[in-house]
Structure 1
Amino acid sequence: MTGTSVTSVTPRPGASRRAARARRRLRPVPGAAAAWLVFTGLHLALSGRVWWWQIPELVPPFAFAVVPVLLLAAALVTRRARRVTAVVALACLILGGGASGINLAALWHRPAPAPPDAITVFSWNTWYWDQRWEGGMPRPPATGTPPRDAGDFYRFLREQDADVLLLQEYVYFGPGSRPIRVDDLARLRREFPGHHIAVASELVTLSRFPIVLQRGIDLRPWAEEERDRAVPPGSSMPDFHTVKTLRTDLRVGGRTVSFYNTHINSPVDSAYRGLDPRRLSPEQHRLRRANLRALAADAGANPHPAVLAGDFNASPAMGILRLLPDRMRDAAPALGSLYPATWNDRRPWWRIDWAFATPEVTVHEYELVRSGGMSDHSGQRLVISVRR
């Protein structure tokens, strides 16, 4: 007869304590998942609709993808409500994924090759044109950034070799963020011979094609309150406060194509530096809405193919983008980046510069162009064609 021995393995005390600590650390996961789901739902309901939700809107957009993925990973190793937590984390990802700025179309979209007559478009927020930092800028440059040279500035613009340039912040700023009108038309004509030029407010559009119509789009008919229609007393640049989009219609190959050059107001008053949540205000919110509504009304009544590009001061997580013209489609599928970001140019985490086009316009190429320290925004370069 053969004896059978049973050996019991006793966990080491140290290992047991570590496992217990790990389980304790994971206890908040179900609650955290539920809290993030509530936050995501509130964000989708309130963002862009009420001014005081502008503070949560400053959450980096990628958080709407990263946080649910981390919660899902934690749910897979927790013992408490594992399935429920995993379902809630997935719901967070599905519900908030559109606000994350993740460009999934980059995985499969393959733009059609550009035809020989394709149009190159370059859009860029210039960061107060060629103004030198020591010449009255209301805020100093980032550490290590030298004052820019006007020759380098114009060289960068010429290097884009664009048929159409949509440039924002064609303006200098004085003490107290007082806008000062720029008159650089003589140099623009020297630097870009043969180009046609349209200017309104702080916006300038340069085109190799003839301009058949140009106008600044005034926000005042769309302002919600009387004070939002007012121009500050003594302003030397009244249209800076009332016009944030320049429409320029160009004659391209026998047909008219509209180009909208836009710079929507920041959530923060321009008198303050950076995205300081203490400086958010209902007035800024109303101005942003009025400008987007004015833009949408003009584009909605425009029968021509159109391109819209510029600095919207709005991330993918900001619901105010719902006010964009219905005809316009984001050009992002033509980008090769899974997470396109344009601001701050040195270490970009947010996409606040956008490009859109109507269905008659095909986007063959779309890339973000780093400015090498000349601006806090990256440029946007597109190659497009218009169906005949």
Structure 2
Amino acid sequence: MSERMSRWKYVVHSYLEDDGKYKFGLAVYSRFPLTDAHSVKFSSRQNSSMYVDVNIEGKKIRLFNNHLQSTQFTGNDKKELISGDVEAAAKKVGNKLRESYKVRAFQADTISALVKLSPHPVIVVGDFNDTPASYVVNVIRGDMSDSFRERGQGYGYTYTDLFKLFRIDYVLHSKDIETIDYESPPVVWSDHKPVVVKLQIR
């Protein structure tokens, strides 16, 4: 992976420090110059956002990269729902979902406000940990376009656990940008499928 990433000339990182060590973070790799990078920290030690201006042949695009609060749904939770005390497991999972939803909603409001302040066209990407119909996705998307809706096909799940039911990773963009191609190949790099999108400035 590091060899592949070394091909990109411009790199910006945003790290989260945990107990004195860098364990979590976001990065943008680009073949175009990157300027004015900012980190957006949340109360969770494992989640953050960042934005940076990408200079594309004289035009600036503000790119937001995000990793929002997860549901904290574990393998044990799944086992308990299937074969354990279903009522107790469902209550436990329900509590996790409610709490994570509250955290993500605050994060989404923060990102939405920053997007609206951008003086440039915007691309917003990342792991939102929520579904297309959720408050989180809708408040961040606002009047932007969803690349999957423009060029995706099929059900479009990106999270490979939980029976492959959920699309929780997104590429959104301003109306003065268009999606030319969308792909989410079934490669096993993590519990998420990658999202590969070709965009064009109108």
Whether these two folds match at TM > 0.5 is yes
The answer (yes or no) to whether the contact 1:268–1:275 under 8 Å persists in 2 is no
The number of aligned residues is 179
Residue number among 296, 300, 310 corresponding to 2:126 in the alignment: 310
Letter in 2 for 1:296: S
Letter in 2 for 1:261: N
Letter in 2 for 1:333: R
Aligned partner of residue 39 in structure 2, secondary structure: strand
1:384 aligns with 2:188: no
Aligned partner of residue 12 in structure 2, secondary structure: strand
The answer (yes or no) to whether the contact 2:159–2:168 under 8 Å persists in 1 is yes
Query: Counterparts of 1:219-238 in structure 2 under 5 Å?
Result: 219=42, 229=43
- For the residues of structure 2 that align with 1:212 and 1:256, how far apart are their CA atoms? 9
- For the residues of structure 2 that align with 1:268 and 1:304, how far apart are their CA atoms? 35
Residue number among 27, 32, 40 corresponding to 1:209 in the alignment: 32
Letter in 2 for 1:312: F
Letter in 2 for 1:293: D
Q: Please report how far the alpha carbon of residue 258 of structure 1 lies from its aligned counterpart in structure 2 after TM superposition.
A: 1.0
- Unaligned stretches of 5+ residues in structure 2: 16-24, 79-89
The structure carrying a bigger strand percent of its residues is 2
In 2 relative to 1, CA 335–257 (structure 1 residues): closer, same or farther, beyond 3 Å? same
- The TM-score normalised by the length of structure 1 is 0.42
Residue in structure 2 matched with residue 338 of structure 1 by the alignment: 154
- For the residues of structure 2 that align with 1:218 and 1:358, how far apart are their CA atoms? 24
Residue in structure 2 matched with residue 218 of structure 1 by the alignment: 41
Rg bigger for which structure?
A: 1
In 2 relative to 1, CA 313–306 (structure 1 residues): closer, same or farther, beyond 3 Å? same
- For the residues of structure 2 that align with 1:375 and 1:332, how far apart are their CA atoms? 20
Letter in 1 for 2:142: D
In 2 relative to 1, CA 376–210 (structure 1 residues): closer, same or farther, beyond 3 Å? same
The structure carrying a bigger helix percent of its residues is 1
Letter in 1 for 2:52: T
Please tell me the root mean square deviation across aligned C-alpha atoms, in Å: 2.6
Q: Please report how far the alpha carbon of residue 281 of structure 1 lies from its aligned counterpart in structure 2 after TM superposition.
A: 5.6
The answer (yes or no) to whether the contact 1:345–1:378 under 8 Å persists in 2 is no
In 2 relative to 1, CA 198–273 (structure 1 residues): closer, same or farther, beyond 3 Å? farther
- For the residues of structure 2 that align with 1:319 and 1:274, how far apart are their CA atoms? 27
1:291 aligns with 2:107: yes
Deviation sequence 1:250-293 (CA, Å, 0-9, x none): 11110111111111111237xx4476651416542322111111
Q: Please report how far the alpha carbon of residue 300 of structure 1 lies from its aligned counterpart in structure 2 after TM superposition.
A: 0.6
- Unaligned stretches of 5+ residues in structure 1: 1-152, 159-190, 220-228, 232-239
Q: Please report how far the alpha carbon of residue 322 of structure 1 lies from its aligned counterpart in structure 2 after TM superposition.
A: 2.7
Letter in 2 for 1:195: K
1:265 aligns with 2:88: no
Letter in 2 for 1:200: S
Residue in structure 2 matched with residue 249 of structure 1 by the alignment: 53
Q: Please report how far the alpha carbon of residue 350 of structure 1 lies from its aligned counterpart in structure 2 after TM superposition.
A: 1.4
- For the residues of structure 1 that align with 2:137 and 2:77, how far apart are their CA atoms? 18
- For the residues of structure 2 that align with 1:357 and 1:323, how far apart are their CA atoms? 13
Residue number among 292, 303, 322 corresponding to 2:138 in the alignment: 322
The answer (yes or no) to whether the contact 1:299–1:325 under 8 Å persists in 2 is no
Aligned partner of residue 308 in structure 1, secondary structure: strand
Identity %: 21
The answer (yes or no) to whether the contact 2:39–2:51 under 8 Å persists in 1 is yes
Deviation sequence 1:48-73 (CA, Å, 0-9, x none): xxxxxxxxxxxxxxxxxxxxxxxxxx
The answer (yes or no) to whether the contact 1:331–1:356 under 8 Å persists in 2 is yes
- For the residues of structure 2 that align with 1:215 and 1:274, how far apart are their CA atoms? 37
